[in-house]
A and B are shown apart, each in its own frame.
Chain A
Amino acid sequence: MQPAINDDKRMILVCCGTGCLANGSMEVYRALQEQLATTEVQVETYTKSTGCNGWCEKGPLVKIMPDDITYCRVTAKDIPEIAAKTLQNGELINRLLYRDPKTKQRVKSHHEIDFYKKQHKVALRNIGEIDPASIEDYIQRDGYKALGKVLEMTPLQVIDEIIKSGLRGRGGGGFPTGQKWKACAAVDASTRYIICNGDEGDPGAFMDRSIMEGDPHTVIEGMIICAHAIGASSGFIYVRDEYSLAVKNLGIAINDARTRGYLGPQILGSQLSFDIEIVRGGGAFVCGEETALMASIEGNVGEPRDKYIYPTEKGLWGQPTIINNVETWANVPVIMNGGAPAFAAIGTEGSKGTKVFSLVGKVINTGLVEVPMGTTLREIIYGIGGGIPGGRKFKAVQTGGPSGGCIPADMLDLQVDFDNLTKAGSMMGSGGLIVMDEHTCMVEIARYYVNFLAGESCGKCAPCREGLKAMLEILTGICKGEGSEADLDFLREIGETMQIASLCALGKTAPNPVLSTLNYFRDEYLSHINEHHCPAGVCRDLTRFYIDVEPCTGCGLCAKNCPMDAISGDRKEPHVIDQDKCIQCGECRNQCKFDAVKAR
């Protein structure tokens, strides 16, 4: 069992999510263990590596409990000092504390800063607080309590509770979860399957990964609860093979759950027998689509099929199947524990609960954030995200990944939920929120997504395959200044055909990034076409960088960072760019602190 934390005991949590690992948190963790093994510290200490705290920007993060101290950007070199001062004497090390950019004050705990204060953690409740490889940690935070409760209930009562909670699927479509379970339970069949969709193919999102890595038991518990509700005896977790840590932690969790009798025959002495198998995906965005995913589990090429008969009736191997997203599963134990009304009290009329977003791009605080449904984009981007770096102008936010759209600045007060995003021509998707500023070209972004999808479409149906190929060709042309206005009509025509005729939702939603940018940023398309000018200074064929002599202080930062040595100038004198050498990478513009590098 976990020792209770009291005054002479310290728990040190080292974030070992992907972001922090990239910043060297493993070295920090090792240094800490070594330090504590070799030096005497008066207090008893426990070290843990946790999943992503969602604030990778400031990583590696080290938290010390129960004092609730959060140290940012910790390196292995800082460890002796942390041991000597903080652990031994309870002294704070100012330099490692977060400095609030507004108040200029150092902040002791991450709980006190806007980035966390404005969040509401439900699905992410345990991540960063527990060691994902420890089932005790999970149990200590109410883990498997919901399961015990559910086993006392009838399946119908469980389904009813989920319906009442208003939970909608977090994997993109937003389908009411309880209704799905009910439909599946109603089908007459001897075998039913449960699937957790952990394929997370959205190229700018990692919330599912974070849950599977940082709190695998919550997903497992959610699935067991569903097994009781619909009467299933086997389940599958389909995870991207690249997510090796997720695969590892889920594997440990499944084993531990078996050992403790949460999985396997007659779970906790009840009639329920259920087990889970991990299936490693092969790296295909389209396999996130449920029928493609099932084809993949069955050992086929991951191509979708028409869904005129739902998977709840005929899914995996032709049997009734429930498939839900990782984050959806993570909410289930919370609903069963706290009751549907408590869950339904969060969020908007049509979208209950919270949503995890991967807030990234041109925003100061990037990371994973969880907010109640209905929070405005402004609150997320400015309140939590801290706004746009470098004082630049916010241009748009892309939601929903490759199936979503771009929402312009004048819609910042949009309350984010399933229905509002759809109305705005975008969608919730998996929850990517990519912030774009004036240096992001909307035509190029549309091209980026179309290019991504052209490679990720399964290529089975003609509208999607041929439509994407044609759109990519047209958009690439526009980015090179070779487009015409007629192209824009053709893009729309292709897009509309794909929306109605494509086989699966990949093709049906693929035109969204194009159509939404055409709607909100037509001017930018026209600049490329008529003036051969990329207003954002991104499309390299249409961009020339030059240095404005007025603001240039001659600091030489640009010249130092130019990969082509294209910039010259004397110290404290305005610099110039040699156009023959310049490759338009824009690094000088990124580096200049005085906004002296301009694009034309």
Chain B
Amino acid sequence: MKIRIDQQEIDVNPGETILEAARQNGINIPTLCYHEAFGGQGMCRMCMVEVKTAHSTNLVASCTYPINEVIEVHTSTPVIEKARRTIIALLYRTAPQSEFMKKLYQEYKCVENQLEINENERCILCRLCVRACEEIGSSAISAILRGTEKRISTPFDEASTVCIGCAACANICPTGAIELSQTPAGRTIWNRTFAVVTCQRCGQAFATREQLDYIAQHTGIKGSESKLCDDCRKKNLAAQIEQYAQ
């Protein structure tokens, strides 16, 4: 099926979202809550685009809108730009500590406002962390409460028994909102401190005990493999392949 995005004609598979189609063709649409690993969540609404069908013109979230008919898409109109600017302005104010948001705020040339700022906050509630944790299989964190009180947390704001300290959440977070402290003594995240395992080869701390146990339990990978950090494991593997090739 052929559709048009910003004057460019592109080929799409029915059911594909506008955002996926655009990205595959090098067309940029701004997003905050999208990650290719999880698909569209429809939360930040930065990805709004204008869609013309045979019958009507609508503003839709491109990350969740499935293409099922011939459409014409505009990724930027004055109305859309204004909405994006307002969204950034408002989000910046809830997450003023985030460098990432500050940059966007400047990029979008948001107008100054008098709204109170939420001083120590960085989170913009994109929930990528929640999705990442779910994907790992832990689901230690979730979005709690509702409305303007909504936030991300572990149950009862306490150390979670199912958290494995893998820091997948902190790594995916675009705004650096999840506090993670890593010392040789241990890794602290979500109110819990984990003992860390050091790489047998390079001596770097690379994972928590719980993380390795978890991997062992779920994949059956055991033994020396799991005692190496990512880098050393790759090196190890490369060495093995080389050996094998010779």
Contact = CB atoms under 8 A, between A and B. Distances in A.
A–B interface present (Cβ within 8 A): yes
Interface of A: 284, 286, 301, 305-306, 308-309, 453-463, 465-470, 472-474, 484, 487, 490, 493-494, 496-497, 500-503
B116 interface: yes
A466 B123 CA distance: 12
A459 B90 contact: no
B48 interface: yes
Interface stretch (B61-69, B205-213, B236-244): B61-69
A407 B51 CA distance: 33
Given A459-B143, A487-B114, A496-B82, 15 more contacts: A305-B64, A306-B64, A308-B66, A458-B147, A459-B148, A459-B149, A461-B43, A462-B46, A462-B90, A462-B124, A463-B87, A472-B148, A493-B86, A496-B83, A500-B59
Given A308-B60, A308-B66, A501 B42 contact: no
A284 B124 CA distance: 23
A460 B130 CA distance: 13
Given A462-B87, A493-B86, A503 B61 contact: yes
Given A459-B147, A497-B83, A466 B48 contact: no
B42 A462 contact: no
B79 interface: yes
B42 A305 contact: yes
Max chain B Cβ within 10 angstroms of own Cβ: one of A306, A462, A490: A462
Nearest to A504: B42
Contacts of B115: 470, 473-474
Given A462-B90, A497-B82, A308 B64 contact: yes
25 contacts: A286-B146, A305-B42, A306-B64, A309-B66, A453-B147, A455-B148, A455-B149, A456-B147, A457-B146, A458-B150, A459-B149, A461-B44, A462-B46, A463-B45, A463-B87, A463-B90, A465-B148, A466-B87, A466-B93, A466-B94, A470-B90, A490-B113, A493-B86, A494-B86, A497-B83
Interface of B: 32, 42-46, 48, 59-61, 64-66, 79, 82-83, 86-87, 90-91, 93-94, 113-116, 124-125, 143, 145-150
Nearest to B126: A462
A556 to B, nearest CB: 45
The 6 closest A-B pairs by CB, nearest first: A459-B150, A466-B90, A497-B86, A306-B64, A469-B148, A501-B45
A465 B46 CA distance: 14
A306 B148 contact: no
A502 B45 contact: yes
B148 A468 contact: yes
A286 B146 CA distance: 10
A459 B87 CA distance: 14
A248 B107 CA distance: 57
Contacts of A308: 60, 64-66
Nearest to A493: B86
A469 B48 CA distance: 21
B83 A470 contact: no
A469 B145 CA distance: 15
A395 to B, nearest CB: 29
A501 B62 CA distance: 12
Contacts of B94: 466, 469
Given A309-B66, A460-B43, A501 B83 contact: yes
A460 B226 CA distance: 38
Contacts of B86: 463, 467, 493-494, 497
A306 B42 contact: yes
B93 A470 contact: yes
Contacts of B79: 500
B90 A467 contact: yes
Contacts of B87: 462-463, 466, 497, 501
A438 to B, nearest CB: 31
Contact of B65 (A306, A456, A467): A306
Contacts of A484: 114
B170 to A, nearest CB: 21
B36 to A, nearest CB: 18
Contacts of A473: 115-116
